[in-house]
Structure 1
Amino acid sequence: MDTAESTPFKLKRKDKDEDKYRISATIAFIVVIVVIGVPMWWKTTTVYRVNLPSAPILRLSEQSIKTAVQVAIYTQQASRAQLLISELQSRFNDSDIWSVEFKQLPPLANAKEVHTPAALEKLILKEHPQSVGDFMFIEWPKLEDELLLTTERSALMRSDATSHKLTQLLHSKVLQTYRMKQILTTDERLGVKSEAPQPVYDVIVSVLNPKPRLTHARWNIAMAVETYIKPFLAQVSDISNYTVRTQWKYRVSIEAEIKQVRDQSKLGRHYALQESSLPHLLTSIAQNLSASTTDKPAINLVVYIPPCSMAPLHIYNSKNQKLTRNGVDAFISPGWGSLIIANPDERVCLSYINNEPPLAYYVNTNDNMQVMLDQLHKLLDISSELQIDGVKTVDIEQLVPRKWEYESYLRRSAVRHIATATSTLQSLVKLLDQISYIVIDDKVGTAIINSYTDILAAKAALLEHRLGDASALAKRAFVASEVGFFDASLLAQLYFPDEQKYAIYIPLFLPVMVPVLSSFNMLRKMLQSRRTKVKLQ
C-alpha cells in the first residue's frame, strides 16, 4: 500500500519540475530574442543622425536681411543739412533692405581757411572718423557737376544739389539697391542672380603667341603681374583668396571668322573680328587652355598676340563700329575670364609685309595691364558701371579700388553669402527630413549648426553697422553650408532605404520568431492550465 500511494505523488512532483524548467527555458528564450536580440538588431541597423535645428533653419527666410548704413552730411549752413536729412530720411523710412542713419556734421570754424576739397575732407575726418561702410556728403560750392564721387567714402555736392539727386546716388552707386534686390528676390524673372563669391580662386594670366618664329614678342609677364595684378588682388582679399599663375602658350590655333578691311594706315589694311564671333573665339581659346585646368574656380586673363598675317586685329560690333578703347581691343566673359588683343607694332608688321627678318618688340605693359585691371573689376563684380546725369566719378589713379565701391562689394557679398547659405541649409534640411535613412554624422551636423549660427550672427552684425564682422561671418556661414551640403557621407546610405533593410532582415528573423511565438502560446496555455487546477482545488 505504501508503494502504490507514493508513486502518483512522485509523478506529480516530477511534472511540476518539468513545467518549471520548461517555463524558465521559454522565458529565457523570449528574453534573449525579444528583449535583447530585437533591440540590438534595431540599434545596430539604425542610421546615425545628429540632431539638427530643422525648424529654426526653415524659419530663416522669415527674418529679412537688413543692413545698417551711416551717412553724414556736411554743409556750411546747419539749416540746409537739416532739410536734406529730413527729406532723405523720409525716402528711406519704408525700406525693407536698408536701415540708414543720417547724421548732421556741425560746420567747422576753420573750414574757410581750406582751399581744396581733399583738405576739407581731411579736416572733417579728423573730427568725425568713419567706420567701414560709412559714407559722407560734403558741400563744396565751386563744383561743376551737381555731385562728384571721390575714391574715398565721400561725394562732393554743389550748393544747389537736391535730396532727390542724393537719394539717386545712394541707391544707384553707393548702396546699389537694384543689385541687392536681385540677390534677395525669390522671383527669377526680376533679374539674373550671380553666384556667391568662392573662398578661393586661381587667377591664370596666359599670353598666347600663335607664331613665335614670326612674332618675336617680348614681355616679362611675371613682373607685370607682380607689379599690377597681385597688389590689386591683395587689396580685395577680404572675400576671397587668390592664387596667381602666369604662362606662355605657343602655336595656338584660333578659330574665328576674320575679314580684311582697307584703311589709310601704312599697312593699308587691318582685320575685323565681329562681336558675334567672340563666343567661338572664346571656345577655341578655352580648348587651348585645357592644360591649365584646376580644381579651384578659375579666372582666365588672356592676352592674345595675333600674327602679322592677321594683324592689327580689331573688334567690330553689329553696327560695324570699331570697339577699340585706348588703343586696346578687349572683351570679358562673366564666369570665365577676359581676353585682350595685343596687336604687334606697326613697324613689326611692315617688316613682315616686306619679307624682312622678324623684328623683336616689347609688349606695352602699362596699357594692357590697365585694361586687365579694369576687366578684373568687372569679373569680380566690384565696379559700378551705372551712369547718372549730373554725377561724375573720379577716375582711379592707383591700384586699389575706390573705397565706397569696394565696401559696396563687401556689403553685397555678405548678403549674397547669407542668402546662399540660407537656401543651401534649407534645401539640405528638407532633404534630410524627407529621407530618414541618410546618415548625418558629426562633421555634417557641426557644419550645419555652425553655418546656422554664423548666419544669425552675420545678420545681427549687418543690422548693428559692423560690415567687416558681417562679411567674415557670412563668408564662414557660406563655406560651412557648402561643406555640409557636399559632404560625401550623405550619399553613403542612399542605396539602403528602410524598405530594403526590412526586405533583407525579415526573411532572416521570421523563422527565428516562429518558435518565439510558439513559446508564447505554450506559456499562455501552461499558465491557463495552472490557474484552472488552482481553482478546482
Structure 2
Amino acid sequence: MSSPLADRLDHGVASGIDASASAPAAEADDNQVSNRSSQPPAVRKLPPPESSADTRRRSLVVASFWFIVLCLGLPIWWKTTTIYRANLPLSQMTDWADGKTCSPVFPLQVSVEAPALQDGEAQNLMRITQYALETMTDFPGYRLQLEMPQTTTADQTTDPSRESNTALTIRLQPGDVAASTLHPHLPVLEVTYPPSSIPSPESSSNGFATYLATQLRSTFAEEQAIMSYLLATSSIPSDQQPQGSSLDTTESLSKRMTRSLKYSGTYHLTFSLFTSGPAPSSWDIEAAIDQYMKPVLDMLKPIHNFTIDTQVQLYAAPGVHSQVLSKEDLSSFINAAEWPLSPGIGGAPTVNFVVFTGNQTIGMDSETETSQSWLIPQWGSVYLLSPPPATHVPSDLLKQPILTFTSHLLSLLGTPQSGSLPMRLSTLTRIRSADLLLRASSSLGSLARLSLALPSISIPSSVADGVAKSMHHLELACANLGSTESLEHARIAEAEAERAFFEKSMVGQLYFPDEHKVTVYLPLLGPVGVPLVMGLLSELKAWRQRRQQKAKLS
C-alpha cells in the first residue's frame, strides 16, 4: 500500500520525464518551420506555349470578323439607311426669293391718240410728258411708257381694249381748259387741252405735260400702292422694294388682301334661297344670273372660270330674331348646322351667295341708316330680301341681290376699286400675276433654306421635279409680265412650288431628329460591338507581348 507522499514523487518524476522528452520535439518543429520559411516559394505552373499556327489562326478569326463588319456590314447599313436627297438648285432658288432673277414690276404701255395735233407736236408732247413721269416717280422700275398707236383705224379708236398690250389709252381733244375724265366702260382717259398749252419743239418742260403726267400717276395710283404692298410683304430685301405707303393705305390694303380669296383658276358659285317659312318655294335665279351677272363673268373668263349651282333651303330660321341686326348679330346669323350649303365641286373654292327672305335689316353706324346685305371675307355674301307676295320669286325682284352679289364677287376676287371695269380687270391680271410670282418665289426660298438647315431631311425626286417645273414657269411668267399667259404660268409655278414644299414624305422627316436614330441603333450595336472591340484589344495586347519577348531574346 503506497502512501500519498510516494504518489507525489512518482508524479513529479513522470512530469519531469515528459518535459524533458517534449523539449527536443519542440526544437525539431521550430527547425522545420525555419527550414520551410527559408525555402523559395513554389513557381506557378504556366500553360504550354501557343504554337505560331494557333496564334495566326486566332488573329485571322478576329481579322475576318472585322473585315466582314467594315467591308460588308457597314456599306450595306450605309446604303440601306442613307436618306435620299435629290439635287436642288439652291442658289437659283435663293435668287428667285430675293428678287434677283425677276422683279414683278410691269412696264405699262399707254397709247396716246391726238388727232387734232400734228405728228411733231404729239411726239414732242409725249417726250416732255415721259420725262415728267420719270422725274416724279417714287416706284423704282414701275414705268409708264407712252407710245403712239401704230394704226388709227376706227375699230381701234372705238375699242382700245382690243390692244392687249395697252393698259390705257389717252384721247386728247382741244377744249377751253385742261380736264380729264375716265371712260366709264373702256380703259380710256379723255383729256381736253387749250391749244395754247401745247409745248413748242424747243421746250424742255411744259405745264400741260406735267398735268398729263400727274393724271396718269393718279390713274394708276391704286395699282402702284397694291404692288408696293405686295413687295413689302414678300421676302424680297428692303433695298429692292419701293418706298412704303402711308399707314392708313397699308391698313386698308391689308384688309382688302385678307378679305379676298386665294387665287384659283376656277371658282364654284353657290346661290341659295333661305326662307323662314314655307314660302317662297321657288325662284327664277337662272334668268337673273344670265341677265345681271353673266356679262361680268364673261369678262372675267381670261382670269377665272366659274361653275354655278343653285338650291332652296326651306324653313331655315336665323339665330337672331330681331328686325334690325347689329354688327354683333351677323356672326351668329348663319348657322352652318341648320343652313347646309352646297360643298365645292371638283376641289374648286366655293363662293356662297345667300338670299334670305325675311323682315330683317342690318343696322349701320348711323341709327337711321340700314343695309340689306353684308360681305363675309373669304366666304361670300348674304342679302336680306323682303318676303315676296307669292310663293315664287321672279327675276326682277332678284335684280338688286344679283347686282350686289356681282359687286361682292369682284371684291372677293381682289379687283381694284377705281377705273372702268375693263381697266380694273386688266389691273387684276397684273396684281394676281405679281402675287402668285412672289408666292412661288417665296416658297422656293423657304424650301432652299429648309434644305440647308436640315441636312438629314429627305428630298425625293418629286420635289426636284416640282422645283424645276416651278422655275420654268416662273421664267415664262417673267417673260410675259402683265398678260393672261403670264398669269397662267405664275399660277402653275405657285402650285408646283407649294406642292414641292409640302411633300408628305419630306415633311415627316422634320419630326425625326438624330437623337431618335441613336436611340434606335444603340441597343442593337452594343451587344455586337462589345465582343468585337474586346477581342481586338486582346489580340493587340498579345501581339505587343510577343514583340516584347522577341526583343528580349534578341
TM-score interval, smaller chain: 0.7 to 0.9
Determine which structure has greater relative contact order: mean sequence separation of CA pairs < 8 Å that are 6+ residues apart, divided by chain length: 1
**Matching of residue 71 in structure 1 with residue 110 in structure 2:** yes
- Indicate yes or no: 2:103 matched with 1:87: no
Q: Is 1:152 equivalent to 2:199 in the alignment?
A: no
Contact 1:458 1:474 in 2 (8 A): yes
Paired position in structure 2 for 1:369: 402
- SS of residue in 2 equivalent to 1:242: strand
Counterpart for residue 322 of structure 2: 258
Q: Which amino acid aligns with 2:55?
A: D
* Aligned equivalents of 2:335, 2:395: Cα separation in 1: 20
Determine the C-alpha separation between the residues in 2 that align with 1:517 and 1:497. Answer: 28
| Equivalent residues of 1:216, 1:359 under 8 A apart | yes
TM-score, structure 1 length as denominator? 0.74
Task: Provide the rounded CA distance (Å) in 1 between the counterparts of 2:296 and 2:454.
Answer: 47
Alignment of 1:200-279 (within 5 A): 200-212=266-278, 215-216=279-280, 218-225=282-289, 229=293, 232-256=296-320, 258-259=322-323, 272-274=324-326, 277-279=329-331
In the alignment, the residues of structure 1 paired with residue 61 and residue 322 of structure 2 have an alpha-carbon distance, to the nearest angstrom, of 94
Q: Deviation digits for residues 231-278 of structure 1, max 9, x if unmatched?
A: 64354244444332211111111133634xxxxxxxxxxxx4445543
1:468 corresponds to = 484
The 1-side partners of 2:191 and 2:498 are apart by 44
Range with bigger deviation, 286-295 or 404-413: 286-295
Counterparts of 2:395 and 2:176, CA distance in 1:
40
Mark the CA change 1:371 to 1:243 in structure 2 (over 3 Å): closer, same or farther: same
Alpha-carbon distance in 2 for matches of 1:196, 1:123: 31
Alpha carbons of structure 1 residues 132 and 151: separation in structure 2 relative to 1, 3 Å? farther
**What are the equivalent positions in structure 2 for 1:287-326 lying under 5 Å apart?**
287-294=337-344, 296-306=348-358, 310=359, 313-323=360-370
TM-score, normalised with respect to structure 2? 0.72
Give the partner amino acid of 2:77.
W
Q: What is the letter of the counterpart of residue 311 of structure 2?
A: Q
**Cα distance between partner residues in 1 of 2:156 and 2:466:** 49
Q: Distance in 2 between matches of 1:226 and 1:106?
A: 38
Quickly say closer, same or farther: Cα 1:164–1:440, change in 2 above 3 A: farther
In structure 1, what is the equivalent of residue 376 of structure 2?
Answer: 333
The 8 Å contact of residues 275 and 318 in structure 1, kept in 2 or not, is answered as no
Secondary structure at the residue paired with 2:417? coil
- Residues 320 and 133 (structure 1 numbering): CA distance in 2 closer, same or farther, change over 3 Å? farther
Q: Is the 8 A contact 1:197 1:239 kept in 2?
A: no
Among residues 223, 243, 251, which one is paired with 1:176 in the alignment?
223
Change (3 A) 1:235 1:529: farther
CA distance in 1, matches of 2:492, 2:151: 42
Deviation (angstroms), 1:415: 0.8
Given candidates 521, 524, 548, the residue that maps to 1:508 is: 524
Q: What SS class does the counterpart of residue 256 from structure 1 fall into?
A: coil
Q: Which runs of 5+ in 1 are unaligned?
A: 1-10, 112-117, 260-271, 349-357, 387-392, 395-401
Cα distance between partner residues in 2 of 1:481 and 1:95: 28
> Helix, strand or coil: the match of 1:38?
helix
Identity %: 22
Q: 1:47 aligns with which of 83, 86, 91?
A: 83
Conserved in 1, the CA contact under 8 Å of 2:180 and 2:189?
no
- Per-residue Cα deviation, 1:484-532 (whole angstroms, up to 9, x for no partner): 2333223433443211111111121122122322343345456556766
Compared with structure 1, are the counterparts of its residues 246 and 174 closer, same or farther at alpha carbon in structure 2 (3 Å cutoff)? Answer: farther
CA distance in 2, matches of 1:169, 1:181: 17
TM-superposed CA distance for 1:452, in Å, is 3.7
Q: How many residues align?
A: 461
Q: Which amino acid aligns with 1:159?
A: Y
Moved more, 203-212 or 286-295: 286-295
Shift of 1:121: 1.1
Q: Gaps (5+ residues) in structure 2?
A: 1-47, 195-207, 235-243
Which of 98, 102, 114 aligns to 1:61? It is 98
> For the structure 1 residues 123 and 408, does the alpha-carbon distance in structure 2 shift closer, same or farther, using more than 3 Å as the test?
closer
Mapped to 1, the partners of 2:275 and 2:343 lie a distance apart of 19
Across the aligned residues of Structure 1 and Structure 2, the Cα RMSD in angstroms comes to 3.6
> How far 1:29 sits from its partner (Å)?
1.0
2:263 to 197, 200, 218: 197
1:298 CA displacement: 2.0
Instruction: Determine which of 413, 427, 452 is the counterpart of 1:380.
Output: 413
Q: Deviations over 1:418-465 (max 9, x none)?
A: 222222333343334333443322223322343244334433432xxx
1:496-535 correspondence runs (5 A): 496-525=512-541, 528=544
Matched, 1:489 2:505: yes
CA distance in 2, matches of 1:183, 1:415: 8
| Conserved? CA contact 1:437–1:496, under 8 Å | no
> Partners in 2 of 1:342 and 1:37 — Cα distance?
78
| CA distance in structure 1 between the partners assigned to 2:160 and 2:373 by the alignment | 41
> Would the aligned equivalents of 1:218 and 1:363 in 2 still touch at CA under 8 Å?
no
**Cα separation, partners in 2 of 1:146 and 1:217, compared to 1, 3 Å:** farther
- 1:418 and 2:437 aligned: yes
Counterpart CA distance in 2 for 1:210 and 1:504 is 63
